Amino acid sequence: MSDTNPETPEKYPAPLRILHWLAVTVFTVLFITGLIMEDLDKTDPLRADLFGLHKSFGVIAIILLIVRLWVRLRSTLPDLPPSLQDWEVTVAHWGHRGLYALMIATPLAGWAHSDLHGRPVKLFGLPLPKLFPTIENIGSTTGLIHTVLAFTLLGLVAVHVAAVIKHRYVDRTDVLHRIL
């Protein structure tokens, strides 16, 4: 068990709370657009629009994450509730690290997939630099990597939300107010 330091705040600083919920919104859009666009026929004009929207929101996810990590490194964070067991503290820290790692790896893999296939990445029409070279006949593995990362992220988010619900309703330790 860890002791609570009276000097530390009860909640995450406001910019981090706002950035958390903005990220939740952006990831929801990414999953909805990603799944719908993959199901559409190649001749459907909505497909290209959804790909454009998906890539733009993916780029926004990267920008939000960079800002968030920059703010986080300069902020005093709230201590975890002292009622948490040591193993729960360890799982929470590694779980959050895992979320951050997947939040950067997933969009980068999407960007790599587009660049490697020579398909431009634009932010609502604004062309963005190529981060990866185009490679002829690269195949579909890079798309598969992006998909696997996206679904691993979704799985970890499910565990993350389950942990918040467990703390609130089973342990009666509300951690949700720290991020609201």
Residues in contact with ligand HEM by CB under 6 A are: 20, 23-24, 27, 30-31, 34-35, 38, 54-55, 58-59, 61, 72, 96, 99-100, 103, 106-107, 110-111, 113-114, 121, 143, 146-147, 150, 153, 157, 160-161, 164, 175-176, 178-179
Please state the closest distance from residue 20 (CB atom) to ligand HEM, in A: 5
Task: List the structure tokens of 177.
Answer: 């107010």
Residue in 136, 67, 144, 153 with CA at minimum distance from that of residue 109: 144
Please state the closest distance from residue 96 (CB atom) to ligand HEM, in A: 4
Pick between residue 31 and residue 171 the one whose CB is nearest to ligand HEM: 31
Please state the closest distance from residue 151 (CB atom) to ligand HEM, in A: 7
Pick between residue 6 and residue 75 the one whose CB is nearest to ligand HEM: 75
Segment holding 51, helix H or strand E: helix 45-73
Pick between residue 1 and residue 176 the one whose CB is nearest to ligand HEM: 176
Pick between residue 82 and residue 99 the one whose CB is nearest to ligand HEM: 99
Distance from chain centroid for Cα 141 = 22
Pick between residue 6 and residue 79 the one whose CB is nearest to ligand HEM: 79
Please state the closest distance from residue 72 (CB atom) to ligand HEM, in A: 5
Please check whether residue 72 is in contact with residue 96, taking contact to mean a CB–CB distance below 8 angstroms.
Answer: no
Residue in 163, 51, 159, 54 with CA at minimum distance from that of residue 102: 159
Q: Where are the beta strands (DSSP E) in the chain?
A: 122-123, 126-127
Helix, strand, coil % in the chain, rounded to nearest 5? 65, 0, 30
Task: List the structure tokens of 156.
Answer: 């970890």
Q: End-to-end alpha-carbon separation of the chain, Å?
A: 25
Please state the closest distance from residue 144 (CB atom) to ligand HEM, in A: 7
